[in-house]
Structure 1
Amino acid sequence: MLQWSIGGLPQLPYQPGSLPPGERKIEPPKGVAPTAKFALLVISAWVIPIVAFFLLRWELVYLVLPYVTLISVEYLLFKPRGEVKIWRVVPHDRFLEEEEVEVELHVVPEFDVENLVVRDLVPEELEVVSGNPEKVFCLSAGEEGILRYRVRMKRGVHNFEGVRVSYRDPLGFFSGDVLVELFTEVVGVPRIYDIPTPYSTRGTKITIGPLPSPRLGEGLEFHAVREYRPGDPLKIINWKATARTGEIMANEFESERKVDVVFVVDASRANAPVLDYQVRAAASLMLNALNDGTSFGLLLAEETPLWVRVDYGKRHFFKCVDFLSTAKPGSNDIILYQVEHLARVAFPLRAQIVYFSPLLTSESRETLRILGEMGYKVVVISPNPNSLYTPSTEEEEVAMRLVELRRKALLRELSTYGLIIDWDVKKPLKAAIAEVIKV
């Protein structure tokens, strides 16, 4: 609850959803000041007695009585004395994008007020879909007024930073205009699609999970032959290799557990038109990984890369979704360096890579080639930016066909490094996956 003391200092007691004590210092507002009309009235009340004194016309003093009476009434009845308490209420701090969110402003004056204008400062990126963030209140002392309106949420972090409050008495003698700092942060999280997991499971034994694990242990999938270690069971001794080398050799098997998954989101500036689609697809596949109990990590390849190490669980899922919510296209021309470096030092061995990129730049295409050559299994979710545009003339339609042919040839060339899902964003991602993978 933010208290605005008219003509005094604002106070900031802590309320959930507002600033904790001491986090921000609020400067004193100017308060309510007399208007020019009131100043003229006061000057007239002094000028008339002075003129009467010099002219010795004491009957002119009676002309002062209406002015004095009006000034007294203004001070006694209409000059504000007290505080106006204002606080903002939103249901919670996270919403799905495109969701309509109701915002409430509560106003409680400690004095009678006839004309109190309150305007909430809505973030520019949010669209007001109903109601009005500005309202004029006429309230008695202690009466609560509520301003309601609805905004359409967009992906990202949005800050409501303040409220503009204006006061004017009925006769226009006192007025005040102050910006009250009232901070509320809301986060628009990406929508999540119902899509299948496009990981290839061919040739694996499914027990706990659908994908092979890099961990070695007891299992059914042969991995390698190594030297026998004390404590190994006799049944894993490879007698042929032992006879050939003269040393006791043992078979090593692959444990049938779930593979680690790394999601790589290409957030370079060239991908701005389809970045929201990339983020939604990444969040959807993260939910699939969460439901399957699969551990996963996130590389958000922005100008300053963001790496979230491989982990599992709901807390980890929501942390990754929060980072996806803040993703913005940046001047990132070094995605190749970012991915190559992390693939060598941070990516789990034999991890499944899910790469979200329209593959528009040479850097993004080279990244796919490097991942494939390093031995990672790569699935590319590639939203087609051309599908966002509808040609309006015959010439544009021919040009669009040529661009599409070039893209298809490029994707066919890159398909040697990973499984590429070319996604027409006008269609559901589930349909695009089904065209490539039998689900």
Structure 2
Amino acid sequence: MSNATATAEEGATDGAVSNYGQRVSAAEDADDLVVEQDRRRTGRWRGIVAVALFAGAVGVLAARPFLLLATVPVAAFAAYPRLTGSPKPTLAVERTVDDDTPDRGADVEVTVRITNTGRWPLSDVRFVDGVPPMLAVRDGSPRHATFLWPGSTTEFSYTVGAEYGRHQFDPVTAMLRDVSGGTELEATVESDPATVLTCTDAVPEVPLRKQSRHSTGRLVTDDGGAGIEFHRTREYQKGDPMSRIDWKRYAKTGELTTVEFREERAATIVLLIDARQSAYRASAEGEPHGMAYNLAGAEQLLTALGETRDYVGLAAIGRQFCWLAAGVGIEHEVTARELLATHPVLSTVPPDEEPPDPDEQAAELRKRLSGDAQVILLSPLGDEYITSLALTLEANGHPVTVVSPNVSSDASVGARLASVDRENRVSSLRQAEIPVIDWTPDQPLGTSIVDVMEVEQ
């Protein structure tokens, strides 16, 4: 459940009238918060005013008083938005879901309750709930229109289908018009705490490649030392631990030998998210785009890596550069999740244009990557640039694994050509010995990872 309170304009003086209804109380609203995004004239009365002026002129010239009088109501409505005080609606939103951890494909009912906590009636208000882009509305509608008296509450519900990932609802958008319909105000109502729907599928194992920092972890190396998997035996050296002496061999031969195991070291992994314009392509209109799957995949990988001792960082390239240095622990994981949910470059809304110079962001990424860091790149592989970046990182000594959600389709000739281009990029990466998890979104990411690991074995 989440609650939020917000208002949509600066205060009015005592006794003022709101454009959105007659004022109920003359008291000051000193504690209101501004959430207005856009105010505009609708032009609703523009044509009628022209007709009224023409009729008034005819009435004057033809000495017809009734024509002149008929223009008075129209002129009053047209002048109403300009003569009255500034609007100040205040809204409180409560959003609930009947199951915040559903199974994939399950129906989840979302209920939104909106209360007019201000002092003006809202004569024409329309709401659009912020449905996460990966959740399709199956029943009902996230849109609602109503009239709200002060203190009254309206409620509407709709049903979404659960998909894998962690889905945070966006704020409610409110569109308000005054009584005359001449002025329209667009505002958002933030939710605090945010409403989050989590549909997780356990990733059994994150595919890592051999390169790690010298601290104990789960990545098996070719170096001998402390560990679990047997590596070799060697001649005893002074100072070797007693627990690693091969006592059975000593009993048979009288020779002191030391057993070495394959060392397990902590890996340093950076989850790199492709958030450029090409990542926002979808298989069809209304379907989740590649960026939505990138974020869902990053959430699942972050959960899986959080259960290990590995050091995990986060980066993204897109409308701006995003970076979180590799770390470990619960607090670091919480910080990473907050970054996934709030950083502008990780928005589910497509950018208007490509960043001016993605090479600058790529150079910054290479500068910040530690020498032993490996990269898990999440990208639908929508163009050649991201393929070139993966090859460059690999050549610079940073092992790369690509997780690529397949959002291609065969709905048109252009779509089929784009699908072939993507297949060629996957092939070129694999030829360069870069593992590619070809993730078909209709199956869990964990299943796709297991399929690739079984083929490689």
State the TM-score bracket (shorter-chain normalisation).
0.5 to 0.7
1:349 alignment partner in structure 2: 371
Amino acid at match of 1:338: Q
| Kept in 1: contact 2:272–2:315 (CA 8 A) | yes
2:218 counterpart SS class: coil
Q: Tell me: CA distance 1:265–1:12, structure 2 relative to 1, closer, same or farther (3 Å).
A: same
Amino acid at match of 1:146: T
1:196 counterpart SS class: coil
Q: Tell me: CA distance 1:161–1:373, structure 2 relative to 1, closer, same or farther (3 Å).
A: same
Question: What are the within-5 Å matches in structure 2 for residues 181-192 of structure 1?
Answer: 183-185=189-191, 186=194, 192=200
Amino acid at match of 2:115: H
Q: CA shift at 1:334, angstroms? A: 4.4
1:303 counterpart SS class: coil
| Kept in 2: contact 1:105–1:147 (CA 8 A) | yes
Bigger CA drift: 420-429 or 150-159?
Answer: 150-159
Q: Tell me: CA distance 1:176–1:106, structure 2 relative to 1, closer, same or farther (3 Å).
A: farther
1:300 alignment partner in structure 2: 316
2:170 alignment partner in structure 1: 158
Aligned partners of 2:437, 2:356: CA distance in 1, in Å? Answer: 23
2:190 counterpart SS class: strand
| Kept in 1: contact 2:209–2:399 (CA 8 A) | no
Q: CA shift at 1:422, angstroms? A: 1.9
Amino acid at match of 2:93: R
**Alpha-carbon RMSD:** 5.1
Aligned partners of 1:131, 1:296: CA distance in 2, in Å? Answer: 37
Q: CA shift at 1:282, angstroms? A: 1.1
Aligned partners of 2:426, 2:90: CA distance in 1, in Å? Answer: 60
Q: CA shift at 1:337, angstroms? A: 4.0
| Kept in 2: contact 1:379–1:419 (CA 8 A) | yes
Q: Which has the higher contact order (CA 8 A, sep 6+)?
A: 2
The structure number with the bigger radius of gyration is 1
Tell me which of 10, 24, 39 is aligned to 1:6. 24
How many residues are paired up? 328
Tell me which of 367, 370, 377 is aligned to 2:399. 377
Tell me which of 117, 121, 129 is aligned to 2:127. 121
Q: Deviations over 1:51-92 (max 9, x none)?
A: xxxxxxxxxxxxxxxxxxxxxxxxxxxxxxxx9985332359
2:64 alignment partner in structure 1: none
Structure 1 residue runs without a partner (length 5+) = 27-82, 169-174, 222-232, 237-252
| Kept in 2: contact 1:298–1:320 (CA 8 A) | yes
Bigger CA drift: 361-370 or 95-104?
Answer: 95-104
Structure 2 residue runs without a partner (length 5+) = 8-17, 38-87, 161-165, 230-237, 242-260, 282-289
TM-score with structure 2 length normalisation?
0.55
2:115 alignment partner in structure 1: 106
2:437 counterpart SS class: strand
Aligned partners of 1:367, 1:131: CA distance in 2, in Å? Answer: 40
| Kept in 1: contact 2:382–2:422 (CA 8 A) | no
TM-score with structure 1 length normalisation?
0.57
2:217 counterpart SS class: coil
2:264 counterpart SS class: coil
2:385 alignment partner in structure 1: 363
Q: CA shift at 1:264, angstroms? A: 0.4
Q: CA shift at 1:147, angstroms? A: 1.0
Aligned partners of 1:179, 1:413: CA distance in 2, in Å? Answer: 52
Q: CA shift at 1:281, angstroms? A: 0.9
